[in-house]
Amino acid sequence: MPNTPDLHLVAQDSEFRKFHDLMARKVQNILLVSTAYDAWVMEEDCKLSERIVSEYQGLNLSRPPRLTWASSAEEALAFLAQRQFELIILMPQLAEREALTLGQRIKELSLGIPVYLLTHREVFLPGEAPPEGIDRQFVWTGNADLLVALVKNAEDAMNVDFDTESVGIRVIIVVEDSPRYQSCLLPILYRELVVQTQDVIREGLNQEHRLLTMRCRPKILLADNYEDALALFLKFEPYVLGVISDVRFPRGGKLDASAGVDLLGAIKAQRFDIPLLLMSNEPDNARRALDIPASFVDKNSPCLLADVRGFVLERLGFGDFIFRGPQGEEISRAGSLYALEERLKTIPAEALVHHSRHNDFSRWFFARTEFELANHLRPLSETDFASPELLRTGVIEMIRDRRQQRQKGIVANFNAKDFDPTTDFFKIGKGSMGGKARGLAFLFSILNRIPALAVKYPGVDFSMPRTLGISTEGFDSFIKINELEYLPSADFADAEVLKIVEKARFPKWLSHQLKAYLSQVHHPLAVRSSSLLEDAQYQAYAGLYSTIMVPNNHPDPNVRLAELILAIKQVYASTFYQAPKAFSRRVSQRTDEEKMGVLVQQVIGDDYGGYFYPAISGVSQSYNYYPFGRMKPEDGVATIAFGFGKIVVDGGQTLRFSPRYPNILPQCPTVELALRTAQTEFYSLPLEHWPWARTDFSLSRRNITEAEEKGSLALVASTFLPEEGRIRDTASIPDRPRVLLFAPVLKHKILPLAEILEDVMGITEAAMGCPVEIEFACNLYRDKQRRPVFSLLQLRPMSARADLNRVTITEHDRERAFCLSSHALGNAEKCDVRDIVFVRPDAFEVEKTVQIAGEIGRINAALVAQGRKYLLVGPGRWGTADRWLGIPVAWNDICGVSAIVETASAQLRVEPSQGSHFFHNITTLGINYIMMSGKEGERFDWEWLEGHDVVTRDEHVVHVRLSAPMVIKVDGRSSHCAITPGDEMARCQEGNTAPQGTGCCTPGCEGAGSPGQCAL
């Protein structure tokens, strides 16, 4: 389907991608120069290498640096000549000055590598500058945290310029001239910053984004004199998150007992909102800190670690946001953007104004790397709003917009303790979420990159159903704790499998997560399968597993949890049903390798008098296998229905149209056919609840007349006027039959559905690189206040058409064919079928279609056991769930079929159901679907068929076997098909390769070889 010119995928990455360029320069190799004894102590006693690796893994940091030891200056210089290092650490004995000389020699090489001196105690007095060749001195106490801190501090210095300018990374300035206190403070600060960053930023998002945003933690810049500290502040002033300063340090080359107080005072005068911490080993300086004002920490206090940690958490914004009253008393707290938004709705106005005046909100956002939100809010104050309530509304709207923006296209890890129920897509557990979830997650990602879609249709709200994905870890855990590993190989009936699985225990960890989820979600839920193989391009497994809908409206949360768990169990049970097992055998897939993920989606629809359903549901395909009139296959096709889409995917009575030509309805050329083929029943979800947990989640199938009074039928229906013999495009005429032709939508465009489908299919087809199928649902409203809603539910690739082999149907083929059709699906030349199973035209009764399906299933089982493929022939819509439209065979009833012929019948005149799961599976497997449409030139020779040897004859179904394989030719270019007898057929050209899944094309091979190979 051609893409719409003004709609295309925006070539932009997720907002998180900008973080990839942060912390670009890393310390990957450290040269440690020490005595043999110190090296031995570090390696054998301290296990320094292991501790560094352990520290990095514990902090979820990647690529811990590699340590290289040198025991002498000459060895160190030799290493420097051989390889590259980013940091050099010297550890001298106190009696030796060799390290200082080595530092000078290294600097003379102009390598630009920082050189740190690591001693067992202070070698130089505070205020005394390190000698030439040494950048900084630290005091080693055997704590590996210090080495990690030195590495991170060196990396901060390397990256601070780029990271602040490109993204706005925050900076913390530490002013301390004592090597001992530097060595104490840095490990504390880095430990708290990294751990708090890991714990709080991007709450609820996935691990990939957590690791990316770890790079956004604030930089720590170290200064040991007044001039350097002030220069750092002036250079990075827009990015300074906080300043921690000693009281006494050099100013003008001399120790100054007031340097720290004056520095913080100057900073406060320029930036009132920067948190300041004054540290001193003299408790009397606490009074001087109050005058600034700044927080104060006693450096000699045994609570130094806790005091510094408290400053980082509360004042720098890394902990919960704490709402405080006028006297500093705590009112409430919030640990996430969502929680903050909720608390802002109720906190007193004076507390709101207080925090706004002090830029507490923006500082908290900066700590969470919400730079755009923080920068937007920071210059605003209560004076920018007419009242505190407007300030409250403005801040809430900013946070809500940001939350919605950042989660678009993201699959977030579910956190039971603190999660945002408005998140689009959550994931529980490790491992894969399955094929259906992959398609849905990709759909989320695509729609996030199409801003022009909402611009082009301003009168429509575009949405995706909020989704909770349960990974295959939940399935594995369920199977393991109940020892159900035998089910894949057991030959149980579906009902027996269901009984076993429903009685099994459910994993407690998963139950706990689901209970937390339901505490915030009270919308009806669809529990959908998402197996590993589902919606794959060549083996779709479409519709073979269960989808269960639960009302989720019981007043008792334990009952709602029990209902959800039962629904998940029923989806798990469907993994081991007969139909998917038969499909797995057809595609040579081991059934014990299949695993089931589960999607819990909030259902699109509304409550209409105790029944929940959408106004429109449907399936749209970007390739139309049965175009009509001037339609082209590339124009696509859509099948829609009123209510839930179950009637569509089950092959029920629906409406089909091409989005390119929405006013052309092939199934409704006359009023009579429109009345005969239009939808008369629809599916809805009953919302009534019982005192106990329900066990039956069946949808209610109701007549469309039941939706007229309280439903949205009037927005999609037309009216038949018997006295005039015509259909009017309105439902406002009382006491007349309603006809579901969706004229208000397709003709009068109260929702421009056809145009939207055309655009969306063009976009998704371009993104996936192949024809696609999408499922969607729409809400329509009678009131003018609410806009119509278009919601995408699922995306899957359509089967690749086997158009590599050129199939030619000759005039000789047409003359000899017993089956000739101009409406055939696929592209293949098959010569491996001798068996034909057909429904006797003289014995067909539409009332007996269920019985006929059973007869076909028994013959199919016998043929599958013999490894024989067959041609299936019969009337009506194959695979439909509506027994009055065709023969309702399930996949396991026909799993051995090679091609299907849909013949004409006076009792059944229906359109092929392209949007059904049955149709999708047969196209995926390369099973040719041949339709006898009644067009001139088409024929099926029943007399020829009756003249062959009968293997089985049931009441309605006959199985015959030919003496030689027939030739089935389907030309995918023209959609024509010719099936010729095998008694005079010519052999397939030697070397031909049959399409995947069709077996060998050489007569007599019987398909014994691998698909596409010859066994002869």
- Kindly report the three-state secondary structure assignment for every residue of 180-212: HHHHHHHHHHHHHHHHHHHHHCCCCCCHHHHHH
State mean pLDDT over 202-227. 72
CA-based radius of gyration for the chain:
36
Residue-level pLDDT at 755: 94
State mean pLDDT over 108-124. 83
Q: What would the two tokens of residue 286 be?
A: 């606490």
Tokens 């003249």 locate to 947
State mean pLDDT over 571-583. 80
pLDDT at 4 over 70: no
Pairing of strands 467-470, 596-602: antiparallel
Can you list the positions of beta strands (E) in 493-641?
525-531, 547-550, 596-602, 606-608, 611-613, 616-621, 637-641
Residue-level pLDDT at 62: 56
Contacts of 424 (CB under 8 A, 6+ apart): 407, 408, 410, 444, 464, 466, 467
pLDDT at 562 over 90: yes
Q: Residues 596, 545: contact at Cβ < 8 Å?
A: yes
CA–CA dist 89, 720 (Å, integer):
90
Q: What is the share, in percent, of the chain residues with pLDDT greater than 70?
A: 82
Task: For 168-199, write each residue's pLDDT tens digit.
Answer: 888 999 999 988 889 888 988 888 777 766 66
Give backbone dihedrals phi and psi of 390, rounded to 5 degrees, phi first.
Answer: -70, -35
Helix or strand or coil: residue 633?
helix
Q: Which letter does DSSP use for residue 527 in this model?
A: E
CA–CA dist 277, 928 (Å, integer):
77
Helix or strand or coil: residue 11?
coil
Q: Residues 757, 749: contact at Cβ < 8 Å?
A: no
CA–CA dist 530, 546 (Å, integer):
10
Task: Give the confidence band of 569 by pLDDT, cuts at 50, 70, 90.
Answer: very high
Q: What is the share, in percent, of the chain residues with pLDDT greater than 90?
A: 31
Element (H, E) at 271: none
CA–CA dist 309, 316 (Å, integer):
10
Q: Which amino acid type is present at position 732?
A: S
Give backbone dihedrals phi and psi of 797, rounded to 5 degrees, phi first.
Answer: -75, 140
Question: Measured at the alpha carbon of residue 989, what is the angle toward residues 983 and 992, in degrees to the nearest 5?
Answer: 120
Helix or strand or coil: residue 510?
helix
Tell me the pLDDT of the chain averaged across its residues. 81
Concatenated DSSP letters of 820-856 = EESEEES-EEEEEEEEEEEE-GGG--GGGHHHHHHHH
Q: Residues 757, 620: contact at Cβ < 8 Å?
A: yes
Residue-level pLDDT at 208: 54
Helix or strand or coil: residue 860?
helix
Tokens 């897509």 locate to 425
CA–CA dist 301, 679 (Å, integer):
80
> Taking phi first (over 0 means left), then psi (-120 to 50 degrees means alpha), and beta for anything else, what does residue 179 get?
alpha
Helix or strand or coil: residue 789?
strand
Task: For 346-401, write each residue's pLDDT tens digit.
Answer: 999 988 988 888 888 888 888 777 888 888 887 777 778 888 889 899 899 888 88
State mean pLDDT over 203-218. 62
Task: For 301-318, write each residue's pLDDT tens digit.
Answer: 888 878 888 888 888 887
Could you write out the three-class secondary structure of 105-131?
HHHHCCCCCCEEEEECCCCCCCCCCCC
Residue-level pLDDT at 802: 42
> Does the pTM of the predicted model rise above 0.85?
no
Helix count and strand count (H, E) for the chain:
31, 43
Q: Which letter does DSSP use for residue 554 in this model?
A: -
Helix or strand or coil: residue 582?
helix
Across 29-33, 247-251, 352-356, 530-534, least confident range: 530-534
Helix or strand or coil: residue 875?
strand
User: Taking every pair of C-alpha atoms in the chain, what is the biggest distance, in angstroms?
Assistant: 115
More confident residue, 960 or 53: 960
**Helical residues (DSSP H) of 575-704, grouped into ranges:** 578-586, 646-649, 671-677
pLDDT at 686 over 80: yes
CA–CA dist 776, 568 (Å, integer):
23
Helix or strand or coil: residue 235?
helix
CA–CA dist 283, 966 (Å, integer):
100
State mean pLDDT over 559-565. 94
Across 652-666, 760-774, 897-911, least confident range: 897-911
Q: Which letter does DSSP use for residue 787 in this model?
A: P
Q: Residues 148, 89: contact at Cβ < 8 Å?
A: no
Q: Residues 216, 197: contact at Cβ < 8 Å?
A: yes
More confident residue, 338 or 994: 338
Helix or strand or coil: residue 670?
coil
Give backbone dihedrals phi and psi of 661, rounded to 5 degrees, phi first.
Answer: -130, 70
Residue-level pLDDT at 510: 95
Nearest-CA neighbor of 467 among 510, 509, 409? Answer: 409
Q: What would the two tokens of residue 36 be?
A: 């043999």
Question: Measured at the alpha carbon of residue 171, what is the angle toward residues 224 and 317, in degrees to the nearest 5?
Answer: 120
Pairing of strands 115-119, 87-91: parallel
Contacts of 698 (CB under 8 A, 6+ apart): none
> Which value, to the nearest 10 degrees, does the dihedral of the CA atoms of residues 94, 98, 99, 101 take?
140
Pairing of strands 87-91, 29-34: parallel
Q: What would the two tokens of residue 197 be?
A: 């960053």
Task: Give the confidence band of 8 by pLDDT, cuts at 50, 70, 90.
Answer: low
Q: What would the two tokens of residue 886 be?
A: 């065709």
Contacts of 58 (CB under 8 A, 6+ apart): none
Residue-level pLDDT at 2: 43
Residues 132-141 as b/e (b if ≥16 CB within 10 A, e otherwise) read ebbbbbbbbe
Residue-level pLDDT at 3: 44
CA–CA dist 828, 972 (Å, integer):
8
